[in-house]
Structure 1
Amino acid sequence: MVLFPGSTSDLKVVLAAQPVDFRKSVHTLSALVSEALSANPYCGDVFVFRSKRMDRVKLLAWDGSGMVLVTKWLHQGRFTWQPPIHDGVVHLSATQLAMLLDGFEWTRVSPKPVKQPTVVG
């Protein structure tokens, strides 16, 4: 099973701005992606949801053959959840997602812009 197919640089991560009831199943979260986030849950993006206490997150993703639901609980502390919100969702890089799941302060890290090289000749 490949959880996130393709290159991690192509990976799109979408955080739901509002907490969700953690009793929600794959089907209910998929419907939430469609209705509340106006996105296609089968597009290959990773959708991240948090609990009210901010000590749990759920990741929902289509891996090409089925829907994957991952839950992580922190035994101590809380996940950092202070992102800038645009249209009710937040977009992260694959690196920021990894930092979020590791419990790091991911909001202080932003990718450095890289100038595209000019073609000579």
Structure 2
Amino acid sequence: MIGFDHQARIWLCTEPTDMRKSFNGLSALVRNQLKHNPLNGQYFVFVNRRKTQMKVLYFTPTGYCLWAKRLEQGQFRVQPTSKGQKLLTPAGLQLLIDGIEVQKYRQFKRFKGA
């Protein structure tokens, strides 16, 4: 798995995406459809209509990076949302990639130091 910056936001595009798109096409989707700046260091996750392929686009100081995964069996569990996007945690993305769906969870309060 790629090493994620734990301070960066991870946005999942819940609308199906054409996986023929590469750097320019996906960055245009980020600007026009998701209304984000693709150059600000956030991660953008896209899944195709059949939910068998995933691409993650992000920008580093030296240029764009594109990570891709194609499933041989099964599907990524992506539920459409009214906003067309969903904020994920790094752990949430890892669960999505690994095919694990959490039905119900409870997160307990933790101390946050200054």
What range is the shorter-chain TM-score in?
0.7 to 0.9
Indicate which of 81, 90, 93 corresponds to 1:94.
Answer: 90
Deviation at 1:115, TM superposition (A): 4.4
How many residues of Structure 1 are paired with residues of Structure 2 in the alignment?
A: 113
1:66-93 Cα deviation digits (max 9, x unpaired): 100111011110011126x252210010
> Gapped runs of 5+ residues in structure 1?
none
The 1:22/1:69 distance shift into structure 2, 3 A limit, reads same
1:90 is matched by which residue type in structure 2? Answer: K
Q: Is the 8 A contact 1:3 1:61 kept in 2?
A: no
Compare CA radii of gyration and give the structure with the larger one. 1
Q: Is the 8 A contact 1:13 1:46 kept in 2?
A: yes
The 1:105/1:64 distance shift into structure 2, 3 A limit, reads same
| Inter-partner Cα distance in structure 1 for 2:64 and 2:113 | 41
TM-score, normalised on structure 2?
0.85
Q: Is the 8 A contact 1:61 1:67 kept in 2?
A: yes
Residue 76 of structure 2 aligns with which residue? Answer: 79
The 1:21/1:70 distance shift into structure 2, 3 A limit, reads same
State the superposition RMSD in angstroms. Answer: 2.4
Deviation at 1:45, TM superposition (A): 0.9
> Gapped runs of 5+ residues in structure 2?
none
Deviation at 1:117, TM superposition (A): 6.2
Q: Is the 8 A contact 2:14 2:79 kept in 1?
A: no
Deviation at 1:116, TM superposition (A): 3.9
| Inter-partner Cα distance in structure 2 for 1:33 and 1:16 | 9
TM-score, normalised on structure 1?
0.81
61-70 or 110-119, larger mean C-alpha shift: 110-119
